[in-house]
Amino acid sequence: MSGIAPTPDPPYVAVIFTAVRSGEDEAGYLEADAAMEALAKAQPGYLGYEGGRGMTVSYWATEADAKAWKQVADHLTAQRLGRERWYTSYKVRVATVDRDYGWSRPAP
Amino acid sequence: MSGIAPTPDPPYVAVIFTAVRSGEDEAGYLEADAAMEALAKAQPGYLGYEGGRGMTVSYWATEADAKAWKQVADHLTAQRLGRERWYTSYKVRVATVDRDYGWSRPAP
């Protein structure tokens, strides 16, 4: 879990990725997961990333930025390995964040 | 992790909830989490729920349905307890899912 991403005021784009893991090649999966997070950070329009077990959300300035990330060469390789090894199924949902709000515990 | 929610064709609404846990009252948190999932399922417009460590996404037919769920009495109580006990911070993002796609491993 990577905490709360410091996104700007809406609107922006959220890509919700939910997967069922196969259980195969755990080490390779973890290595690729870290590499893809680092690579995503270097892409135009990248705003942040939040991840949990089996679910990650990446945030992008525009839908064009999210689509461009999908086509980055090393990411295409990871997507192929995901289908061959790491996942039995997944779903990607591309959404527009219309509003957001948050809360933080006041300092004591 | 609850698997991939069986959502209909877009558009529909995703409420992305990301939290930093305080570490307090783990048993109470887990009990409330299960109770809120069961209660959400009974609400009008509820489509599904996906959850991981520190991040959950609930899906709703309309934004009005998502807003109504926020005001359900037992849910209001859970929100208050969340601020008093379980979380040090959280963020809620309300988004419209514009498109989605998925993949499943073919049967061998």
Q: Look up the pTM and report it.
A: 0.93
The 10 Å Cβ neighbour count of residue A13 is 23
State how far residue B39 is from chain A, nearest Cα, in angstroms: 22
Residue numbers in B near A104 (CB within 8 A)? 88-89
Residue B76's pLDDT is 94
Cβ pair A60, A13 in contact under 8 A: yes
Nearest to A28 by CA among A80, A89, A90: A80
Please, what's the b/e burial string for B4-23 (b: 16 or more CB within 10 A of its CB; e: otherwise)?
bbebeeeebbbbbebbbbbe
Q: Nearest residue on chain B to A85, judged by CA atoms?
A: B105
Cβ pair A91, B10 in contact under 8 A: no
Would the pLDDT of A100 be above 80? yes
Per-residue pLDDT tens over the stretch A71-91 = 999 999 999 999 999 999 999
Per-residue pLDDT of chain B (108 residues; tens, 9 = 90+): 468 999 999 999 999 999 999 999 999 999 999 999 999 999 999 999 998 668 899 999 999 999 999 999 999 999 999 999 999 999 999 999 999 999 999 887
Average pLDDT over residues A85-101: 97
Give percent of chain A with pLDDT exceeding 70: 96
The residue count for chain B: 108
Would the pLDDT of A1 be above 50? no
Does this complex have an ipTM over 0.85? yes
Residue B105's pLDDT is 93
Residue numbers in B near A60 (CB within 8 A)? none
CA–CA dist B58, B69 (Å, integer): 10
Q: How confident is the model at residue A53 (pLDDT cuts 50, 70, 90)?
A: low
The 10 Å Cβ neighbour count of residue A66 is 21
Residue numbers in B near A88 (CB within 8 A)? 104-105
Residue B53's pLDDT is 66
Q: Do A91 and B83 touch (CB under 8 A)?
A: no
CA–CA dist A22, A89 (Å, integer): 8
Peptide bond into A11 cis (omega under 30): yes
- Here the tokens at position B56 are 């959950």
Residue numbers in B near A53 (CB within 8 A)? 1, 52-53
List the single best residue of A7, A13, A15, A16 to mutate versus B (max B Cβ within 10 A).
Answer: A16
Residue B71's pLDDT is 94
Cβ pair A24, A77 in contact under 8 A: no
